[in-house]
Amino acid sequence: MEFRTGYIAIVGRPNVGKSTLLNHLIGQKISITSRKAQTTRHRIVGIRTDADAQYVFVDTPGFQMQHQNVLNRVMNRTVTQSLSDVDVALFVIESMRFDARDEKVLALLPRNQPVVLVINKTDKVSDKSTLLPFIEKVSASFPFAAIIPVSAKRDSQLTELVQEIRRHMQEGEPIYGEDEITDRSERFLAAEIVREKVFRLLGDEIPYSISVEIEKFETEGGMRRVYAAIIVDRDSQKPILIGKKGEKLKEIGTQSRKDMEELFGLKVYLELWVKVKSGWADDERAVKSLGYE
């Protein structure tokens, strides 16, 4: 069997499970997840290498219809750029939910490339007989190459999805080494892990406009030393992140360190603090300085 390789964009509105899908497809957590919508802000590349194919997945931010600040305009540009250069696009929607927000993303999809409709979170559908009419309704909206219902969280139907993707890829040599899982640096991944913990532990208490800046990232023998600042918009947000007697910040740090150690495969020393940068999400220079292109 010939070896195939290709780029696959994962697109959809916020909070349909794109990052969870990416993590489960490559078998390693590299893209952050939380119940808070719009968690992914960057173009994340995840690499899966099998015996007969190499899949280079591009997880994109959820396309933003609201909050039109500089940060969100940059994120939307990332989505459209990612779509222009792939072999296959996976359009991810949530089971039994298809509305104007999904239709706006659908309008961006290429007509000259295969688009696979991925209906995620099927485990949440109690009456499975309702799925078929839902699939028929959505399939009438676009000439999809295939439609695959999955539960990314439970690894359900992911093998079928990977087989379908392979059908649309070209014959070719691998682009990355077989042990590589992402093109992102450890420094970048460390910042993303901290950001995920902030969203997971604080939920709605903290606004969407927080970021994480790695001020120092050092390798010392078999250890990584990470010094990171959590960037907030207003002074009033600082005590929320720090918590009573520093407990909340300590918990964010502990959980982040454990995830980093698991991902990097070695010991991590992590130091965290909170910094205020007023209005950073609407300041082009600040957005660029924090790594958003």
Q: Inform me whether the pLDDT recorded for 34 exceeds 60.
A: no
Q: Write down the pLDDT at residue 8.
A: 92
Annotated ligand binding at 15? The verdict is: yes
For residue 37, what pLDDT is reported? 41
120 is in an annotated binding site: yes
Of these ranges, 17-21, 22-26, 211-215, 251-255, the one predicted with the greatest mean pLDDT is 251-255
| Percentage above 70 pLDDT, the chain | 80
17 is in an annotated binding site: yes
* CA distance readout (Å), 176 to 25, 86, 228, 264: 16, 16, 29, 18
Residue with tokens 């990355």: 176
- Report how far apart the first and last C-alpha atoms of the chain are (Å, whole number): 39
- At 82 the pLDDT is 55
Residue 112 annotated as binding? no
Q: Is 122 annotated as a binding residue?
A: yes
User: Is the fold of 4-171 the same as that of 186-289?
Assistant: no
* pLDDT score, position 40: 41
Is 63 annotated as a binding-site member? yes
- The answer to whether the Cα torsion of 103, 108, 112, 118 is positive or negative is negative
How many other CB atoms are there within 10 angstroms of residue 62's CB atom?
24
Nearest to 198 by CA among 153, 245, 243, 158: 243
Dihedral sign computed on CA atoms, order 176, 178, 181, 185: negative
Architecture label for domain 4-171: 3-Layer(aba) Sandwich (3.40)
pLDDT for res 66: 46
The neighbour count for residue 268, using CB atoms within 10 Å, is 20
Reported confidence tier of residue 279, pLDDT bands at 50, 70, 90:
low
pLDDT for 41: 43
> Does 13 show up as a binding residue in the annotation?
yes
User: Is 72 marked as a binding-site residue?
Assistant: no
Question: Which element (helix H / strand E) includes 250?
Answer: helix 247-264
Q: Is 121 annotated as a binding residue?
A: yes
Q: Which residue has the higher pLDDT, 31 or 260?
A: 260
Reply yes or no on whether the pLDDT at 101 is more than 70.
yes
Whole-angstrom distance, CA of residue 218 vs CA of residue 224: 6
**Bridge partner list, 53:** 4
- Rounded to whole angstroms, the Cα distance separating 32 from 22 reads 10
Mean pLDDT of 222-241: 90
Nearest to 232 by CA among 290, 203, 275: 275
Q: What's the confidence (pLDDT) of residue 259?
A: 92
13-27, 46-60, 272-286: segment of lowest average pLDDT: 272-286
The reported pLDDT for the residue numbered 152 is 95
Residue-averaged pLDDT of the chain: 83
Over its C-alpha atoms, the chain yields an Rg (Å, rounded) of: 20
- The verdict on whether residue 18 carries a ligand-binding annotation is yes
Residue ranges covered by each domain of the chain:
4-171, 186-289
Task: Give me the pLDDT at residue 79, please.
Answer: 54
Instruction: Consult the annotation and say whether 19 binds a ligand.
Output: yes
* Residue range 104-145, pLDDT digits in tens: 888 888 788 899 999 999 999 999 899 999 999 999 999 999
Beta bridge partners of 56: 7, 47
Q: Going by CATH, does the domain composed of 186-289 fall within 3.30.300.20? A: yes
Confidence of residue 64 (pLDDT cuts 50, 70, 90): very low
Residue 179 annotated as lining a ligand binding site? no
The answer to the question of whether 61 is labelled as a binding residue is: yes
212 token code pair: 């994480």
246 is in an annotated binding site: no
